Amino acid sequence: MKKYNAVIFDLDGTLLNTLDDLMDSANYALEQYGYKKRTRDEIRRFVGNGVRKLMERAVPEGTSGETIEQILATFKDHYEKNMMNQTGPYDGIMELLSCLKEREIPAAIVSNKFDLAVKNLSRLFFDGYIQAAIGESEKVAKKPAPDTALKALARLGMPAERTVYVGDSDVDILTAKNAGMDCISVTWGFRDSAFLLSHGAAVLIDSPLELLKYF
């Protein structure tokens, strides 16, 4: 079994269960423009490629780009004020991060959530455990492009071959590959094991503490 010296985590569906707050803000934005609300399962399928893609998938087909931008702005404004209502770490995450810290394993977050939200959530829940938190911004290409992951590696001062990427989606598998990293996929997030295996997952874990054997 390969061992690693550092870890980069996805955020939504990996460290934090953010689904209900994302759903509430998406549905709030949709309702403001007269569109129907989406179910929890629909929102689960729509997330993973950034909030713009989330809203593109949530609106009716044929919605204009200008309208999508307006809905997205409404979503962001609502989410910034409400992103901590129901969000919290998955069971076992804080114990995992505490063990990694004790072993002096550096850790970062790389997410397609917009950068301000990533930094705010990281500060609130993981202060002292995470050395770098990087989200979507105009300056850096989002996942599955490797840019944010490579930026995190630079911040950690670690090479890709000694760092593992941990995430819950096909986007994370591709991000790791594009950045020259191995990927460990988690089954407690927004995608199930069958989906992950069909999209190239090489290693699956079912609980956070299982990750410790790789360090």
Q: Using alpha carbons, select from 208, 118, 215, 122 the residue that is nearest to residue 167.
A: 208
Q: Using alpha carbons, select from 70, 21, 65 the residue that is nearest to residue 43.
A: 21
Residue 214 neighbours by CB under 8 Å, 6+ apart: 1, 2, 3, 4, 164, 184
The tens digit of pLDDT for each residue in 62-104 reads: 999 999 999 999 999 999 999 999 999 999 999 999 999 999 9
User: What is the average pLDDT score of the chain?
Assistant: 96
Q: Is the pLDDT of residue 161 over 90?
A: yes
Q: Please state the separation of Cα 120 from the chain's center in Å.
A: 14
Q: Is the pLDDT of residue 55 over 90?
A: yes
Cβ contact 179:160 at 8 Å:
yes
Q: What is the pTM of this model?
A: 0.92
* Whole-number pLDDT of residue 180: 98
Q: Is the pLDDT of residue 49 over 90?
A: no
* Ramachandran quadrant class, 181 (left: phi over 0; alpha: psi -120 to 50; beta: rest): beta
* Whole-number pLDDT of residue 212: 97
Structural domains of the chain sorted by starting position, each given as residue range(s) with its CATH number in brackets: 6-17+87-214 (3.40.50.1000), 19-82 (1.10.150.240)
Sign, Cα dihedral of 30, 35, 37, 42: negative
